[in-house]
Amino acid sequence: MTNFPKNLLNKSKRWYTSVRNIFRKSDGAKKADPNLALQQVVSARKRQGLPTKSQIKYFPQLLSKKEKQIASIAFVIIVITGILLGREFLNSQRLVVPAVGGEYTEGLVGAPQLINPLYSLTSDVDTDLTRLIYSGLMKYDTANGLVPDLAESYTISEDGKTYTFVIRDNAIWHDGEKVLADDIIFTINAIQNPDYRSPLAVSFTNVTVEQVNDRTVSFTLQEEFTPFLSFLTVGILPSHLWQEIAPFNASLAELDKKPIGSGPYIFEKLVRDSNGNLRNYELVRNPNFYGGAAYIEKLTFKFYSDLASGVDALNNHNIEGLSYVPINNLELFKKDSSFKMYFPQMHQYTALFINEDNNSILADNDVRRALATGTNKNQIIDNILLGHGLAIDTFILPGMLGENPDVTKYGYDLEAAKALLNDAGWTISNTTDEKVKVVEEETTNTSETETTDNIEDSTDTAEEAEMSLIRTKDGKTLELEIVTVDSAELVQTAEEIKAQWLELGVLANINIVSVTTLQSDILKNRNYDILLSGELYGIDTDPYAFWHSSQSDYPGLNLSQFANSEADDYIEAGRTTQDIEKRTKAYQELQNIVAEEIPAIFLYQPYYVYVTASKIKGVTIEQMVSPADRFSRINEWHIKTRKVFGKDEETEVIDEAEVIEEIDPAALYSN
C-alpha cells in the first residue's frame, strides 16, 4: 500500500469503511477482499466517473440477501417500465386511419323511379342514388363549394362565353370503359333533345358543346352567364351504352333501374316485394373511383311510403340512418348512442311573401314595416324549430356570395310596431281592456260541469273579445290571410305568427292547403295575401328566379310579385360577370332595395336534420344545397379502422391494395 499517497490512503479507508457499513454482510457470509474494494474506491475516485465493468461485477458480492431481492424487484420494475414506455412510444408513432369494410343501411322516403341524371331532378330518392352512381364535370362539395369532379381542369374565356374542360385520365365507367369527351357531348345533346323530355333542358338552351380531343370538350354560350358552371354538376351518361336506346324509350330503359356510371358506388342488386315494389337497393364500392375509392364496402337503401314509417323503422333499428328526420322526432334519437345527428345549413330560407295586389292593406309600407318589426323570429326558432335554425333578415344567406351584413334589419320591437300602426291610422277600441277582463273572469268561473251551450256561449264571447283586440281604420278591420302548405313546421310557424300579430292588433287567419291546391290555384292565380313558404337556391347564388320582375307571373317564383327596374339591373349585372367583387356589390345593392320596400318578411334559415349510425366516422356535412349533398364526401366515410406508422396526422394513407391487418399492441410483447 506504500504506492499510495498518505492523505489519499486515509480518505480511501474512510470511504471503504462507509461502504462496508452500508453493504455489510450477515455473520457467516464470505467477506469481500478489503484490498480489492479499496483499490476500486481509489480507482473510482481517480477516474471521477462511472465504475468500470470489472468494478461492477463485484458489486453483488457487497449486497445482503434482502438487498439482492430488492435489487431484483427494482430491475424487473425497470424492465417492465421500459417495455410499457416502448409500447407507448410505438403507439404514439402509429396513426389510426380508415380501412375498407363494413356495411351501412339507410332509409329513404319514396321509391326510385328513374335513376338517371336526365330525370332525377324531380325526385329526392332518384337524386340520392344518382349522386352515388354518377358523376359530373363539376360537383358541389359541402366544405369547399363548387369544385371539379370528372374535370381535371377547366378554363373560362375572357368574354365569359366559352368553357373548356379537360377530363381526368383515370376516370372509368363501372364496366371498365374510359370516360371520354363523347360521353359529355352525348349527355348534353340528350338533355337538349326534346324527345328525351328532360326537365334540365331549359338550363342548356342556346348552349353549344364541341369535342376538342378525346379528353377535352368546350361549351359555348350565346351570352355571358355566370351561374352556368353550376349546371355542369349534372351526371354524365356512358354514350357507348345509351346511344343504342331510342330517345323516346329512355325513360323505360333497364339502365334507369340498373345504372352504370362513374361515381364512387356501383349498382349491385335490387329487391322487390311480391307486388313488384322496390324494397331494397344495394350498392358496392367502386375500387377504381378516380376521387379515391370509398371505404364502406356496401350501402343498402330501404324505401318507406312516408316519413312516419321511416322514423319508426329508424327507432326500431330496422335501418341505421334516415335521409331526413322531422325536428319534432329528434327526442327519439338524442339519447340513443347508436345514432348521430347532423344539422347542416341548407341554401334555403322561409319567409312571409306579401302580395299587396291581393289586399290593399298591405300596400302601405308602414303596415309592412310594422308586421316585420312585430314578428319575433327567435321565438319561432326556439318554439317550432327547437333551436335548429338561424334568424335571417334577407334572402342572401350567411356564407353565400353577396352576403350583406349591413342590410337593414327589422328586429323585434312590439311597442315600435304598435306605434307604426297607430301612425298609419290603425287603432284599437278603448273598451278592449274591459272586454278582455270579462272574458278572463267568465273563463275562471266556468265549472267542469258546464253545459255545452254555456261552453259555446263562452267561446263566442272569447271570439268577440279577440275581435275587440283588432285594429280598425275607417270602419275596416286589419285582417289578413296567411296561406301555407300542409306541413307540420309551416303550420306551427303560421300559428305562432298569428299569436304574435294578435298582440299587435292584427287578425291573421290561417289557410292550410294541400300541395296540389298550392300549385293549381294558390300559386297559379297568386291567390293569397301572405304566403308562408320556403325558397331553395341552387348551387349558385343567382336570385333571378325569386326576385326578377319577369318571374312575377306563374310559373315564376317571384312570390311577392316584386317589380323594381333598378333591382332588375342589379340581378342581371350579377349573373353576367365573372368578377366576384362586382357580383357581390350588385347583390348587396339588390338586398338594400328589397329591405327598403319590404315585399317579404324573412324569418329563418332552417337546418337540415340528418340522422345516421354513430359507427360511421369521417362524416363532414357543413352545408347543403340539396339533401343528396350529404353524400358529396361519401368516399371519406368509414366504419373500419387500422393503424399505420407515420410521422404525423398528415401521413398519407396506404392504398387499400396495401392494407395490412390491424396489429394488437399487446401482440408486440407476447413473445
**What DSSP string runs through 536-558?**
E--SS---HHHH-GGGSSTT---
H or E element, residue 288? none
pLDDT mean over 56-73: 74
The pLDDT tens digits for 170-191 are 999 999 999 999 999 999 999 9
Q: What is the pTM of this model?
A: 0.77
517 shares a domain with 505 = yes
Query: How many Å apart are CA 8 and CA 569, to the nearest integer?
Result: 104
Is residue 15 domain-shared with residue 132, that is, in the same domain?
Answer: no
Residue 666: band (very low, low, confident or very high) from pLDDT cuts 50, 70, 90: very low
Element (H, E) at 391: strand 389-391
Co-location of 215 and 185 in the same domain: yes
Residue with cell 273579445: 465
**Among 32-46, 56-70, 135-149, 602-616, which stretch is predicted with the lowest mean pLDDT?**
32-46
The CATH code of the domain that includes 360 is 3.10.105.10
Q: How many CB atoms lie within 10 A of CB 245?
A: 16
On whether both 415 and 363 belong to a single domain, the answer is yes
**Model confidence at 660: pLDDT above 60:** no
Question: Do 528 and 355 form a contact (C-beta atoms < 8 A)?
Answer: yes
pLDDT surpassing 60 at residue 448: no
The gap from C-alpha 585 to its chain's centroid, in whole angstroms, comes to 28
Same domain? For 146 and 214 the reply is yes
Dump pLDDT digits (tens) for 17-37.
554 554 454 454 455 555 555
Q: Which of 36-45, 125-134, 345-354 has the lowest mean pLDDT?
A: 36-45
pLDDT of residue 184: 98
Q: In the predicted model, what is the mean pLDDT of residues 400-414? A: 96
Structure confidence at residue 671 as a pLDDT band (50, 70, 90): very low
Q: Specify the pLDDT at position 149.
A: 98
Q: Using the predicted structure, report yes or no on whether residue 12 has a pLDDT greater than 80.
A: no
Q: Give the pLDDT score at 646.
A: 63
Upper half-sphere CA count for residue 230 (Cβ side, 13 Å): 15
pLDDT the model gives residue 451: 46
Residue 277 CA: distances (Å) to CA of 125, 271, 322, 376, 572: 14, 8, 20, 46, 47
Residue 541 grid coordinates: 347564388
- 129 and 76 together in one domain: no
pLDDT bracket for residue 319 (50, 70, 90): very high
**pLDDT above 70 (res 461):** no
Q: What are phi and psi of 321, to 5 degrees?
A: -160, 165
pLDDT at 17: 58
Q: Is 80 exceeded by the pLDDT of residue 5? A: no
How many domains is the chain partitioned into structurally? 5
Residue 511's pLDDT is 98
Q: What is the pLDDT of residue 83?
A: 83
**H/E segment holding residue 167:** strand 162-167
What is the distance between the terminal CA atoms of the chain, rounded to a whole angstrom? 53
Q: Are 294 and 99 in contact (CB under 8 A)?
A: no
Which residues, 6+ apart, have CB-to-CB distance to 303 below 8 Å? 107, 108, 109, 110, 111, 112, 125, 277, 278, 279, 280, 281
C-alpha to C-alpha distance for 518 and 512, rounded to whole angstroms: 9
Confidence of residue 54 (pLDDT cuts 50, 70, 90): low
Q: Both 3 and 75 in a single domain? A: no
Cα 342 versus chain centre, distance: 7
Q: Write a three-state SS string for 592-636.
A: HHHHHHCCEEEEEEEECCEEEECCCECCCCCEECCHHHHHCCHHH
DSSP 8-class letter at 30: P
Range of lowest pLDDT (18-32, 54-68, 259-273): 18-32
Structure confidence at residue 435 (pLDDT): 45
pLDDT in tens, 283-313: 999 999 999 999 999 999 999 999 999 999 9
From start to end of 305-347, where are the E strands? 321-322, 339-342, 345-346
Each residue's pLDDT tens digit, 337-368 = 999 999 999 999 999 999 999 999 999 999 99
Q: Are 469 and 498 in contact (CB under 8 A)?
A: no
Mean of pLDDT values over 83-104: 82
Query: Mean pLDDT throughout 485-497?
Result: 96
The pLDDT score that the predictor gives to residue 59 is 65
Note the pLDDT of residue 1.
45
Distance of CA 289 to the CA centre of its chain: 23
- What is the per-residue pLDDT for 91? 66
Where does the pLDDT of residue 95 fall: very low under 50, low under 70, confident under 90, or very high at 90 and above?
Answer: confident
Query: Which domain, by its residues, includes 586?
Result: 346-427+474-606
Amino acid present at 232: L
User: pLDDT of 492-547, one tens digit each?
Assistant: 999 999 999 999 999 999 999 999 999 999 999 999 999 999 999 999 999 999 99
- Label each residue of 38-87 as H, E or C: HHHHHHHHHHCCCCCHHHHCCHHHHCCHHHHHHHHHHHHHHHHHHHHHHH
Residues 501, 579 share a domain: yes
Same domain, 602 and 491: yes
pLDDT tier at 618, thresholds 50, 70, 90: very high
Smallest Cα–Cα separation from 120: which of 234, 204, 230?
A: 234
pLDDT of residue 572: 97
Distance of CA 369 to the CA centre of its chain: 34
Is cis: bond before 194, omega within 30 of 0? Answer: no
Whether 51 shows a pLDDT value over 90: the answer reads no
CA dihedral 377, 378, 381, 386 (to 10 degrees): -160
Question: Of 13-17, 235-239, 439-443, 543-547, which range is least confident?
Answer: 439-443
Crossing angle of helices 6-22/34-47, nearest 10°? 110
* 104 strand-pairing partners: 299
pLDDT value at position 20?
A: 54
Are residues 50 and 86 both part of a single domain?
Answer: no
More confident residue, 134 or 70: 134
Q: According to the model, what pLDDT value does residue 209 have?
A: 98
Domain check: are 86 and 125 in the same one? Answer: no
CB atoms within 10 A of CB 80: 10
37 and 92 in a single domain? The answer is no
Weakest-pLDDT range from 244-248, 306-310, 367-371, 463-467: 463-467
